Amino acid sequence: MSAGFSISEEALFNKTGEGVLRRLRKTRNPMELLNVLRSARKEFDRAYDEAPAESRAAVACRAGCGACCHVLVGVQAHEVLIAAEFIQKYFSPEDLEGVIARTKEHRDAFAGRWALERAALKLPCALLKEGSCSIYEARPEACRSHHSNNADTCRSNLDLASGALHVTIPGLHGRMFAVMLGTDQAIAEAGFDGRAYDFNSALHEALTDSQCAIRWMQRQAAFPDSCREVPDAADGEYGEMVAEGYFQ
């Protein structure tokens, strides 16, 4: 694995992946598998806390920003299931109905469109509430990994028809990405669904079909093809994590 990682980031990727894979293989009760992955999210906090002080000081993200909540979010199946469980546990029946309705609207709008077409829609995440994430504790890995150096630039990016201005933070971005990739690769190595899904589309499925979690625990595809990230027309392939033997 390289992915442009520095030596320390590569080490973080390996350490994260090996730890997650070891815990998954030790888990005998399928109902505990998601708990293992919830616990693994502490690695994101640790990677952030151990990043250089100047990198952490450069973070401009604050509650109420919300610009990054209008971009495409690709996720693995376990991330959707964790989010769905959080919503079902903590949201009121009325709020749950609202999320289901908004994720359905998102899913219908995305259906049959290529990635660039989807990106151009700039639809807000169905979980965005008054500029903040309503499932912050259970947010996807991509959301945990993203940090911006300038909130105004993020808003400018949201207004751009194409292209993007640089907002990533050296010394932090690579560390967070290493944890994310290490976690997802370990899950694929353990034999679980490694397909890439559109978060809001898959979340709608998870909230309306209880069999999604069962399929995932049985190491099957958790969600239908209609929930997958759509490939760019140039490559014609869906993104997918596959077992590569990185970790032992």
CA angle centred on 141, ends 41 and 48, rounded to 5°: 60
Query: What pLDDT does residue 158 have?
Result: 85
Write the pLDDT tens digit of every residue in 177-219: 999 999 999 999 999 999 999 999 999 999 999 999 999 999 9
What does each of the 248 residues of the chain score in pLDDT, given as a tens digit? Answer: 556 899 999 999 999 999 999 999 999 999 999 999 999 999 999 999 999 999 999 999 988 888 999 988 999 999 999 999 999 999 999 999 999 999 999 999 999 898 888 888 999 999 999 889 999 999 999 999 999 999 889 888 888 765 577 899 999 999 999 999 999 999 999 999 999 999 999 999 999 999 999 999 999 999 999 999 875 544 444 568 888 888 86
Domain boundaries, the chain: 7-227
How many Å apart are CA 223 and CA 210, to the nearest integer?
A: 11
Find out whether 205 and 223 touch, Cβ atoms under 8 Å. Answer: yes
